[in-house]
Structure 1
Amino acid sequence: MVKLLENKVGPIINLKDYRQFGLQVYDEILSVAEKLQGKSIFHINATPQGGGVAELLKSQVPFEKAVGLKSYWLSMANVPPSFFTVTKKIHNLLQGKPGLLNEEEKNLYFSVNQELAASLKDFCDQFPDGLAVVHDPQPLPLIQFIPKNFNAIFRLHLDVSVANLSVMDFLKSLIEKYKLVILSNEDYFISLPWIEESKRKVIMPAIDPLSEKNQPMDIRAANAMLEKFNINPLKPLIAQVSRFDAWKNPLGTVQAYYSAKKEIPALQLVLLGLLLAIDDPEAVTVFEKIKKHARGDPDIHLFADPAEFAEISNETFVNAIYTASDLIIQNSVREGFGLTVTEAMWKNKPVIAGIAKGILMQIEDGENGILAATPEDIAKNIVKLIKDKISREKLGRVAHESVRQRFLLPRFILDNFKLYASLKSKIWS
């Protein structure tokens, strides 16, 4: 049966551990949180793992609980794969891909969300009132079934600045029903001109510096871990950590690697994109294409199946990749924000990235990272940075500091809490 299931988050966090990342922000969080004590909020998204939304919620919800909110996270369960094929198409159309939804696809999109209505009602009936935050297009139609005593926010994480107008017209009547629409970049509202100014909000995402993946790791431990997978710590290593998605352009990264390898024969490449997100059915197809391009090169290491390193947590393995790499590539064509860019920068790594709007929010070319428009540009900068350790380290230091100032979890939490507090009288009795 299709339904919404609550994700059990944990462990309980110690708020004081976050004071080190900015005392002023920390104190302000506690001050605003006093106005929100005991209030009910629930987040709804497609899947409990894989992708940036799940990454945010697994830190955001425990933090909200820790300050006294009744915060919950619900995800879809037992959904037919055909539904996620449709929502992936919607995702692609929202990011500018040409095409149209047919009537069968539209009907499936609505019917699955209608099936979710019963479990949504069961959950909401436990509370006198509250706030629902609906994340991304998959559960968007649930606005039709959220009880009147709840108010709803639509949180869209994609870059929709060049959205396909046909899909935006299709979704318009649903989006307009929400009290607020939150995007990651003001520029993205260009495709939603019918959203009145008072309903527009911008909150940039952030990473949790205390998550397992983002904490410091000893380079020797990282190298020892990767040696078990035939990655040589004595040879230069570059990596792209992201889903196997055409918008992330991993094929272009492979092309850049092959070009750079002509000048740096010992170069190694890791592509890490674990196939965890059930809402991304295209990932397997993209991964198979990459395998064909990489076949026969022992210096290309592809990781898609978590079972390959079953004795190591996913987060620890990602941490080891970041730690051991000389630089990180994020060759995205579209990026709503790009948390893997943020993660790499936090790890003091220089990032060579595609010119996507979400990345432009984070990287100032030549100052805290490198922007590159083509595989040839990426290759040229790979060669330059691999040969210049001083420049690599300087870019990495500046990158880390820019994340510390702008893109850590406490700032993100404060932005959300201020929003909740501003709506308090309109949401909670």
Structure 2
Amino acid sequence: METSPLLDRYKGIVSASLIEQIYEVAHSLAGLQVLHVNTTAQGGGVAEILNELLPIMGELGIQHDWKVISLDEASGYFTARLVDMLQGYDTGAFPEAEKQVFLEKLRHAVSKGPEYQADVYFIHDFQLVPLAEFFPWMRPAIWFCHVDTAHPTPSAQQYIRQFLDPYALTCLE
């Protein structure tokens, strides 16, 4: 069985039985190709997680790649408003035109078709939730929402929910 010096660094922080479970699951997944998709390569929690995770998975024989989808500044206003609404702040209703412009820019950012083939796609960031809906080749997919969604506004909740059906699993923090 493959071992990972990088994973073994966590011995003493987590139980030895958990490390063994990770090794067992990793062994059963050896050869799997995974693609992580998010919006930033550095300066954020997702980037920090992926910078640690990918080398460990490589040592365990699970190929993890990472694609960053850059969004333009104009998209920043929409996404800033959306994150506020997901966290319970009422910033008013989404103007439909603003939402459609953002969604079209997101489609265009990925529209070239499957640049990367993977066995499973991990979609990080609340902004990218539409991807599995827009691009069926990006399935099976798992969506991670890395923001507090304990008290979303109804309109933010409705916006997110419309894109969740294609996901095999959704994870909210």
TM-score interval, normalised by the smaller of the two chains = 0.7 to 0.9
Supply the distance in 2 between the matched residues of 1:164 and 1:171 (Cα, whole angstroms). 11
Question: 117, 127, 130: which one pairs with 1:141?
Answer: 130
Could you list the per-position Cα deviations for residues 377-414 of structure 1 after superposition, in whole angstroms to 9, with x for gaps in the alignment? Answer: xxxxxxxxxxxxxxxxxxxxxxxxxxxxxxxxxxxxxx
Could you list the per-position Cα deviations for residues 248-279 of structure 1 after superposition, in whole angstroms to 9, with x for gaps in the alignment? Answer: xxxxxxxxxxxxxxxxxxxxxxxxxxxxxxxx
Supply the distance in 1 between the matched residues of 2:136 and 2:61 (Cα, whole angstroms). 23
In structure 2, the partner of 1:153 is 142
1:19 aligns with 2:11: yes
When structure 1 is superposed on structure 2, of 134-143 and 16-25 the one drifting more is 16-25
Shift in CA distance, 85/166, structure 1 to aligned 2, threshold 3 Å: same
Cα offset, 1:176, TM superposition: 2.5
Higher RCO, 1 vs 2 (CA within 8 Å, ≥6 residues apart)? 2
Alignment of 1:54-69 (within 5 A): 54-69=47-62
In structure 1, the partner of 2:152 is 163
Q: Say whether the 8 Å CA contact 1:121–1:146 is kept in structure 2.
A: no
Cα offset, 1:13, TM superposition: 6.0
The residue matched to 1:159 in structure 2 has which SS?
Answer: coil
Cα offset, 1:156, TM superposition: 0.9
Supply the distance in 2 between the matched residues of 1:43 and 1:37 (Cα, whole angstroms). 17
1:32 aligns with 2:32: no
Shift in CA distance, 88/40, structure 1 to aligned 2, threshold 3 Å: same
Q: Say whether the 8 Å CA contact 1:95–1:163 is kept in structure 2.
A: yes
Q: Which amino acid aligns with 1:70?
A: Q
Supply the distance in 2 between the matched residues of 1:134 and 1:112 (Cα, whole angstroms). 17
In structure 2, the partner of 1:107 is 100
Cα offset, 1:163, TM superposition: 0.5
In structure 2, the partner of 1:92 is 84
Q: Say whether the 8 Å CA contact 1:120–1:146 is kept in structure 2.
A: no
Question: 19, 44, 47: which one pairs with 2:40?
Answer: 47
Q: How does the TM-score come out when normalised to structure 1?
A: 0.37
| Structure 2 unaligned spans of 5+ | none
Q: Say whether the 8 Å CA contact 1:94–1:164 is kept in structure 2.
A: yes
Shift in CA distance, 44/146, structure 1 to aligned 2, threshold 3 Å: farther
Q: Say whether the 8 Å CA contact 2:125–2:144 is kept in structure 1.
A: yes
Supply the distance in 1 between the matched residues of 2:109 and 2:5 (Cα, whole angstroms). 31
Shift in CA distance, 13/103, structure 1 to aligned 2, threshold 3 Å: farther
Supply the distance in 2 between the matched residues of 1:158 and 1:15 (Cα, whole angstroms). 26
Alignment of 1:83-232 (within 5 A): 83-98=75-90, 99-119=92-112, 121-124=114-117, 127=118, 130-143=119-132, 144-147=134-137, 150-184=139-173
Whose helix proportion is higher, 1 or 2?
Answer: 1
Alignment of 1:316-327 (within 5 A): none
Cα offset, 1:15, TM superposition: 3.5
The residue matched to 2:137 in structure 1 has which SS?
Answer: coil
The residue matched to 2:162 in structure 1 has which SS?
Answer: helix
Supply the distance in 2 between the matched residues of 1:90 and 1:103 (Cα, whole angstroms). 13
Q: How does the TM-score come out when normalised to structure 2?
A: 0.86
Supply the distance in 2 between the matched residues of 1:100 and 1:19 (Cα, whole angstroms). 48
Identity %: 26
Cα offset, 1:20, TM superposition: 3.9
Q: Say whether the 8 Å CA contact 1:93–1:167 is kept in structure 2.
A: yes
The residue matched to 2:37 in structure 1 has which SS?
Answer: strand
Supply the distance in 2 between the matched residues of 1:73 and 1:45 (Cα, whole angstroms). 8
Shift in CA distance, 161/14, structure 1 to aligned 2, threshold 3 Å: closer
Supply the distance in 2 between the matched residues of 1:122 and 1:52 (Cα, whole angstroms). 25
1:76 aligns with 2:66: no
| Structure 1 unaligned spans of 5+ | 1-11, 185-429
Q: Say whether the 8 Å CA contact 1:136–1:156 is kept in structure 2.
A: yes
The residue matched to 1:25 in structure 2 has which SS?
Answer: helix
Q: Which has the larger radius of gyration?
A: 1
The residue matched to 1:111 in structure 2 has which SS?
Answer: helix
In structure 2, the partner of 1:349 is none
The residue matched to 1:123 in structure 2 has which SS?
Answer: coil
